[in-house]
Structure 1
Amino acid sequence: MRQSTHVLSIRTSGRGLLEITREIRSWVADQRLTTGLLTVFCKHTSASLLIQENAAREVRSDLEAFFEQIAPEDPARYAHDDEGPDDMPAHLRTALTQVQLSIPVIEGEPALGTWQGIYLFEHRRRPHERQVVLHLLGE
């Protein structure tokens, strides 16, 4: 049994879904493990991770619109606004999604479905440098 770790630095351009599947697949392939378990972990409280359809752009825009409705920027709703009006809505969006994914690795590749991609979901309006930790355990 072997394990490997890596930290991806991802520059976001503001709120939205950013596909990171290619970077993750490339790193997994470089590890030369046939079978295992990949953990993907986002080190932030205002960004999250999703596995979602990667074919139709409308899926991403619909998701972004949905989260805008359930966690809107409204200064009258929240006490926490240390970093601006998008601060608390970003924390709520992260709480409703996830910061960690577990993905089986089969025959040296993440076992994603045909239309599945791995996304970093940036919940803040301004660009950020995000850190995503990869941990692969297997043989």
Structure 2
Amino acid sequence: MWQQKTIHLAEKPRGFHLITEEVLAQLPEIKNIKIGLVHLLLQHTSAGLTLNENADPTVREDFLQYINRLAPEDLNYLKHTYEGDDDMPAHLKSSLLGVELMLPITQGQLNLGVWQGIYLGEYRNFGGVRQLIVTIQS
């Protein structure tokens, strides 16, 4: 069986944010799935999704420091700056980490590792509410 829905993530400041619980709160239907998959697609080009450390918040701080070095805002050769200095670097960061995840569902729960959580990478100073298309296969 296939299901699909749109969920919204609350607006967040620039940085990496653990959103596992926020996502699960909007997906009560997975509680009835014994075996399945959930695909998350972030419908934005200036934010990203990744799976990583869910316990120590300094990991998320380090992610931000590192990705800001990979795609800094002070590159004078960038042309796509219509929405500010963070515009093109946000697009680059989105492509570097990606905008989708495919995760297993087992016995009504995401089958993640003990220390794994879903991150939203917010790369804009004012990104706004973010939207996920969620497709569940069971």
TM > 0.5: yes
Superposition pairs of residues 54-65 of structure 1, within 5 angstroms: 54-65=54-65
2:18 maps to what in 1?
Answer: 19
Runs of 4+ in structure 1 deviating by more than 4 angstroms, as ranges, are none
Q: Between Structure 1 and Structure 2, how many residues are aligned? A: 137
Partner AA of 2:96 in structure 1: L
Secondary structure of residue in 2 paired with 1:52: strand
Computed over aligned residues only, the root mean square deviation of the Cα atoms, in angstroms, reads: 1.4
Superposition pairs of residues 1-139 of structure 1, within 5 angstroms: 2-31=1-30, 32-138=32-138
For residues 23 and 4 of structure 1, do their structure 2 counterparts lie closer, same or farther at Cα, with a shift above 3 Å needed? Answer: farther
Give the structure-2-normalised TM-score: 0.92
Residue segments in structure 2 that go unaligned for 5+ positions in a row:
none
Once residues 27 and 14 of structure 1 are traced to their aligned partners in structure 2, the CA distance between those partners, rounded to angstroms, is: 21
1:85 Cα offset (Å): 0.5
Is the CA contact 1:28–1:110 (under 8 Å) kept in the aligned structure 2? no
Once residues 80 and 27 of structure 1 are traced to their aligned partners in structure 2, the CA distance between those partners, rounded to angstroms, is: 35
Per-residue CA deviation, residues 59-82 of structure 1 (Å, 9 max, x unaligned), is 000000001111111151301101
Secondary structure of residue in 1 paired with 2:29: helix
Partner AA of 1:9 in structure 2: H
1:29 Cα offset (Å): 4.1
1:20 Cα offset (Å): 1.6
Once residues 33 and 107 of structure 2 are traced to their aligned partners in structure 1, the CA distance between those partners, rounded to angstroms, is: 8
Partner AA of 1:51 in structure 2: L
Once residues 29 and 107 of structure 1 are traced to their aligned partners in structure 2, the CA distance between those partners, rounded to angstroms, is: 13
Residue segments in structure 1 that go unaligned for 5+ positions in a row:
none
Secondary structure of residue in 2 paired with 1:83: coil
Secondary structure of residue in 2 paired with 1:64: helix
Once residues 91 and 129 of structure 1 are traced to their aligned partners in structure 2, the CA distance between those partners, rounded to angstroms, is: 17
Once residues 127 and 100 of structure 2 are traced to their aligned partners in structure 1, the CA distance between those partners, rounded to angstroms, is: 21
Q: Which moved more, 1:123-132 or 1:10-19?
A: 10-19
Secondary structure of residue in 2 paired with 1:48: strand
1:118 Cα offset (Å): 0.5
Give the structure-1-normalised TM-score: 0.91
